[in-house]
Structure 1
Amino acid sequence: MSVDHARSQLVSPGADRMSVRSKLTGNRFVRISQGSAEQRGKVISLFTGAGGMEIGLESAGFETAICVEIDPDSRETLRKNREHWVLFEDEQNRTPGDLRAIRPEELLLKANLKRGEAALVTGGAPCQPFSNMGKKLGKSDPKNGDLFLDFVKIVLGTQPAGFIFENVAGIAQGRHNEVVEYMTAQFAGSGYSVAFEVLNAADYGVPQQRKRFIMLGRKGDAPAFPLPTHTKDGLFPDVFSPEPIATLSQWKTVAEAFEEIPRGNLQRADCVGMRHASYMVERMAMIPQGRNFKVLPMQMRPKCWQSGKHEGHDTFGRMEGGKPAPTIRTAGYNPTKGKYIHPFENRGINTAEMAALQSFPADWEFRTVSGKPSIVSIGRQIGNAVPPAFAYALGSAIFA
């Protein structure tokens, strides 16, 4: 089935839908070990963003052969940090990084790979259409809702040994079932064993509660998911194994992540935060850890918070230093967008702190095309990224 035909078919209602959630069982989980990683092959990276997936896979022994990214600021970040990574940019009359306009054979040529030589194709199509935040348009989103089809196109056209597809957990919910069904059927028909789960990045050493849908595929035997390396209470979760309970690391906390930020990073140009009016600081001072705007006296709340119709349960909330952060979204620097007040100071977290909570290495710098730091752009790059520590776990397990 061609991508164009698939796009036309996926908007038709009434198809039989199996329950995605009922399939989120029976997958294979393996323990992963820390240490030097064996060389595992080359990666074709789609929707690369600021490089979170690729940093993690690099640590797991993979080599990034080519990156496809449509956001020019993110491409500047990739150039700054990894000069040797090949970016798909050419002189043709098309938008650089627009996956809809790129053919699999073009990617292979620019990556100096033959069909079947890549170890992995990786990527997460823009997640906003499937997020529990916003309009939840899914595949019907006129801008990005069908980009998962292009991920399928590249996998089938390049025939890697395996693939990793990442998206928000909402893509596994009932209204979006047909997306997962379509992808599974297409990959299975091309000889891939496919498995998918909703995993929490906090279970893999990321100081953040970030639940993501992960689809793994590989030629031949079923792919493996990584067993958690961290848990809330440090005990091995019975749901993954009948083995006796063992001791693991406890979830990494906000305070631990912030303590690891080198002091110099807070002086870097790409460390930016919001400037708060005095009345905002006064409001923050009244909010304890773990609480939100609802503790404020009514007269101190904006009208939209007084009406009781406000949807954000974490809005203007303070992080808890002894727990992982909530999901770091693209506006994670803005306390009015979630539980993003610093745990110990009366301010929103800055982009260096956002990056630490996403497990980016301290030496990874964020850039923009203009050369001027933009909190909106840097926040978007960080919030949209796959946490590198999470990617490391996925890459270490998939071929186990």
Structure 2
Amino acid sequence: MRQEMKSEHGPIPAEIQAVDLFCGAGGLSCGLQQAGIGVVAGLDFDQRCEYPFTENIEAVFLGQDLASTTSESLGEYFQSPKYSLIAGCAPCQPFSTLSNGSDRKKSSKWPLLRQFGRVVADLKPDLVTMENVPILQKEEIFDEFVTGLRSLGYSITYKVMDASKYGVPQKRKRLVLLASMLGPIRIISPEELGVEETTVRQAIGHLPPVAAGKTDKSDALHRAQGIHPINLQRMRHSKPGGTWKDWPYKLRLECHKKPGGATYTSVYGRMEWDKPSGTMTTQSYSFGTGRYGHPEQDRSLTLREMAILQSFPDDYKFTPAGKVPEFSSVGRLIGNAVPVRLGYVIGRSIQQHIEEYESQ
């Protein structure tokens, strides 16, 4: 039976069906659905992903480790699609530049890209997509992954994309790979989509004001972390797009008064209304972890604002009704997600590829 899935244009037959490995809260899946691709299942080891994935994507959630999951069991979720897609974003912590100088090759998450490759080799889907941090393309594990795909007969393209050029309201560079058994495939351009940069104002300017430490009565996710009195003073002296150098000297941190700390200017800052924000992280709800101060309200970002800057729909659900969203756990779900809009671009690239293939 052909599954009816969500898209920007209403329910459509899911001729392309996807299994989303490392699905997280569903950012990539949501974007694929908006592009008209059916998502039949998502897998993630983190059980906290189950509620947002099942509630929003309305697909099967598998709360398990990919390493202990057979390819055959994943393949059973495809419902006789015309085209099959394996999608995913292997956890990027081993490859991230934020790994604090640790040996990336010793990370327990390092083999997960090999597990991704193992599933592709076993199932041989028509299409494959992977998203990750740009530094991955310099690693041997990526060369191994690409070589494996080519040996199976896939045509491959990959490049580093600035998500802000595709309408995601934040500066976020990501490595995106597309592979197809049907022939050459490419990533469509912002010009083809007819999109422009989205600013912070355009993204979150419509939300009601919220004070630090408070929650909007109509949206539990529109919740701001409390702020220490001295950080409140610092916030009030912070200029949009500025740095802690705008503060009176007495408010500066001791580390910033030292010569070695003078270069760290990307923390304790406010965003600018009329530009995309900086890259969302798992801690973008905290004033001290980046330029995550609201452009004019004296507080850091709310969880809802974080989600919208990751291009999640305004009503995307991360926690059940009546449950107070925890900053650390929900912030991790949001910060680690593939921006929904980037997932849409990937989906539209695949759809255009199919259209070109079928027109031949």
Q: Same fold by TM (over 0.5)? A: yes
Per-residue deviation at 1:371?
3.9
270-279 or 211-220: bigger deviation: 270-279
User: Secondary structure of 2:130's partner?
Assistant: strand
Please tell me whether residue 206 in structure 1 is matched to residue 168 in structure 2.
yes
1:127 aligns with one of 92, 100, 107: 92
Please tell me whether residue 85 in structure 1 is matched to residue 52 in structure 2.
no
1:323 aligns with one of 242, 264, 275: 275
Please tell me whether residue 216 in structure 1 is matched to residue 178 in structure 2.
yes
70-79 or 348-357: bigger deviation: 70-79
Rounded Cα–Cα distance in structure 2 between residues aligned with 1:196 and 1:220: 16
135-144 or 300-309: bigger deviation: 135-144
CA contact (8 A) 1:137 1:145 kept: no
Partner amino acid, structure 2, of 1:218: S
Per-residue deviation at 1:118?
5.4
Matches within 5 A, 1:29-108: 39-82=14-57, 84-88=58-62, 96-108=63-75
TM-score (norm 1): 0.78
2:238 aligns with one of 287, 296, 302: 287
CA deviations 1:34-63 (Å, max 9, x no partner) are 867774411011010010101110011111
Rounded Cα–Cα distance in structure 2 between residues aligned with 1:55 and 1:325: 21
CA contact (8 A) 2:166 2:196 kept: no
Q: Which position in structure 2 is the counterpart of 1:358?
A: 310
Per-residue deviation at 1:302?
2.1
Q: How many residues align?
A: 338
2:334 aligns with one of 382, 387, 390: 382
Partner amino acid, structure 1, of 2:284: G
CA deviations 1:56-83 (Å, max 9, x no partner) are 100111111111011111112223324x
Q: Which position in structure 2 is the counterpart of 1:26?
A: none
CA contact (8 A) 1:50 1:75 kept: yes
Rounded Cα–Cα distance in structure 2 between residues aligned with 1:353 and 1:170: 27
Please tell me whether residue 256 in structure 1 is matched to residue 199 in structure 2.
no
Partner amino acid, structure 1, of 2:85: L
Name structure 2 gaps, 5 residues minimum. 1-7, 354-360
1:230–1:259: structure 2 CA closer, same or farther, 3 Å change rule? farther
Per-residue deviation at 1:271?
2.7
User: Secondary structure of 1:226's partner?
Assistant: coil
TM-score (norm 2): 0.86
Q: Which position in structure 2 is the counterpart of 1:150?
A: 115
User: Secondary structure of 1:154's partner?
Assistant: helix
368-377 or 190-199: bigger deviation: 368-377
User: Secondary structure of 1:189's partner?
Assistant: helix
Q: Which position in structure 1 is the counterpart of 2:228?
A: 277
1:230–1:326: structure 2 CA closer, same or farther, 3 Å change rule? farther
1:118–1:137: structure 2 CA closer, same or farther, 3 Å change rule? farther
Partner amino acid, structure 1, of 2:298: N
Rounded Cα–Cα distance in structure 2 between residues aligned with 1:81 and 1:324: 26
CA deviations 1:337-394 (Å, max 9, x no partner) are 1110101111101011111111101121112799441111111111111111111111
Rounded Cα–Cα distance in structure 2 between residues aligned with 1:163 and 1:55: 17
Q: Which position in structure 2 is the counterpart of 1:244?
A: none
Per-residue deviation at 1:139?
4.8
Per-residue deviation at 1:292?
1.5
CA contact (8 A) 1:204 1:230 kept: no
CA contact (8 A) 2:78 2:84 kept: no
CA contact (8 A) 2:223 2:304 kept: yes
1:166 aligns with one of 131, 156, 180: 131
Partner amino acid, structure 2, of 1:134: S
1:312–1:385: structure 2 CA closer, same or farther, 3 Å change rule? farther
User: Secondary structure of 1:220's partner?
Assistant: coil
Partner amino acid, structure 2, of 1:87: F
CA contact (8 A) 2:94 2:107 kept: no
Per-residue deviation at 1:262?
7.6
CA contact (8 A) 1:205 1:229 kept: no
Per-residue deviation at 1:229?
4.3
Partner amino acid, structure 2, of 1:276: I
CA contact (8 A) 1:333 1:340 kept: yes
Per-residue deviation at 1:132?
1.7
Partner amino acid, structure 1, of 2:233: E
CA contact (8 A) 1:285 1:346 kept: yes
Rounded Cα–Cα distance in structure 2 between residues aligned with 1:299 and 1:57: 50
RMSD, matched Cα = 2.6
1:301 aligns with one of 242, 246, 252: 252
CA deviations 1:7-46 (Å, max 9, x no partner) are xxxxxxxxxxxxxxxxxxxxxxxxxxx8677744110110
User: Secondary structure of 2:94's partner?
Assistant: helix
Q: Which position in structure 1 is the counterpart of 2:299?
A: 347
Partner amino acid, structure 1, of 2:283: A
Per-residue deviation at 1:283?
0.4
User: Secondary structure of 1:185's partner?
Assistant: helix
CA contact (8 A) 1:117 1:160 kept: no
CA contact (8 A) 1:42 1:118 kept: yes
